[in-house]
Structures are given as structure tokens and as C-alpha cells.
Amino acid sequence: MPDSTVRIGLVLPDVMGTYGDGGNALILRQRLRMRGYDAEIVEITLNDPVPESLDVYTLGGAEDSAQRLATRHLAKYPGLQKAAERGAPVLAICAAIQVLGNWYETSSGERVDGVSMLDVTTSPQATRSIGEVITAPQIDGLTQPLTGFENHRGGTTLGAGARGLARVTHGVGNGVGDGLEGVVQGSVIGTYMHGPALARNPELADLLLKRALGVDELAPLDLPEVEQLRRERLRV
């Protein structure tokens, strides 16, 4: 066990927490504590600079106006960018993908520069994507289908520096017709899946934790209610 507390950064929950994605930080903390680790959530609001010293970071979804506030804050206080550069895992949900990208276009047609942690761009699509999504992961360390609830109008195009998290088997995904869902670049994993995503995908939660702890394996957890939830959601 580590000597110190594992610190989970919940980034800008005051503006990037529309869909309950703050629950992802709770899942990380609980899965650590169930294995005997000390863990705490560090909430980083618009009143705080973003520390670069935390072990793992999560960001959630938001509307256009909140996205702009978050983008300006992360540009002013680049602790998240510095943490990712040293390899700290970052989970970006929905609008957070857009904020961390090169640019995103709002529903009114305004183009806003992102913080360029991800080589992606996002533009509004003709119709909103709402409903269950199921995907087959395409990165090492994930073998089980990923499941979530998507609710976004943005269509995200991956650049050469990014790759998809998974391939869609049910639902829409990134919304640009390439069959992909989410994005992976460096230590950042992004997905449009709400739910919260880590409650519905414990394997993804443990992948982030293994990276945060610098370990190859974690003690298994016997949580039949989680498996029941997954079975229900996979029967869409």
C-alpha cells in the first residue's frame, strides 16, 4: 500500500458537472478505499488554480456558456496540462473532450479555442445524439464492452495525434460517421458516455487507477450489483 493518500482531482464541478459526472470521482475513491488505499477527492472550482500534483483527474459535461468558463480557467491555470504531460491519468467526459481539444464550435456558431490537450475539433451536428451507447474498446487494458448514456449535439473529429477509445456497436458515438466513440491521447481518455461512466464500466475505472498508482494489477472486487447493472444496460 502507498504511504500517502491518493488524490483525485474533480475539475470544475461548479461548471462542468451538468450530468452527474462528478460521480466518476466518487467511484474512483470508493474502489480505492475498498482495496485498503487512503483516497480523497480534491474539488477544483473556478475559485482555485488547477494543481499539477494530483494523482488522477476527472472532468464532466456542460453547456456552451459553462464550457467557455472552463476553457478560460484551464488556459489561465494550466496545472491539468502539466499533470498530463508527466503522465497523470485524466478522464474527460462529453463537453470536457471539446474543452481539451483544439477548438469547438458552439450551437450559435462561435468557434472557441480549446487548450489543445487533445488533437480533436468539434462542431454541432444536425441532430442531437441521445440514448444508450455500447462500444468495443480499442486500447490495451480494456477487454469488456463499454456502456453509457450519450447526450450531445457536438460531432468530434479526431486529428492525427489522437485515436478512438472504442468502436461503436450500438448508438452514435463521436457523431462524425467514423464509427468511433471517445478519444485517447497520451494519458487522457475521453468519452461521451455518462452514467456516470465509471459506475457502468469498472474495468475502465480500474485502468485509470492502475495508471495513477503505477501498478499492473489491482485486487479484484466482488460487486454483484455492478455486474447486474452492466447486464441490464447491455441489453438495450
CB neighbours of residue 9 within 10 Å: 25
Cα–Cα distance, 187 to 140 (Å, whole number): 13
Identified catalytic residue from 73, 94, 152, 170: 94
Cα–Cα distance, 97 to 189 (Å, whole number): 9
Residue 170 annotated as catalytic: no
Residue 94 annotated as catalytic: yes
The grid coordinates of residue 124 equal: 454541432
Angle between helices 202-213 and 23-33 (to 10 degrees): 70
The grid coordinates of residue 54 equal: 494530483
Cα–Cα distance, 172 to 44 (Å, whole number): 31
The β-bridge relationship of strands 166-170 and 120-137 is antiparallel
The annotation status of 111 as a binding-site residue, yes or no, is no
Angle at 52 between CA 46 and CA 58, to 5 degrees: 65
Cα–Cα distance, 35 to 122 (Å, whole number): 38
Cell numbers 471539446: residue:
98
* 196 upstream amide cis, omega within 30 of 0: yes
Q: Which residues pair with 191 in a beta bridge?
A: 93
Q: Which residues are annotated as a binding site for substrate?
A: 128
- Tell me which residues are annotated as active site: 94, 194
Which residues define the annotated binding site?
128
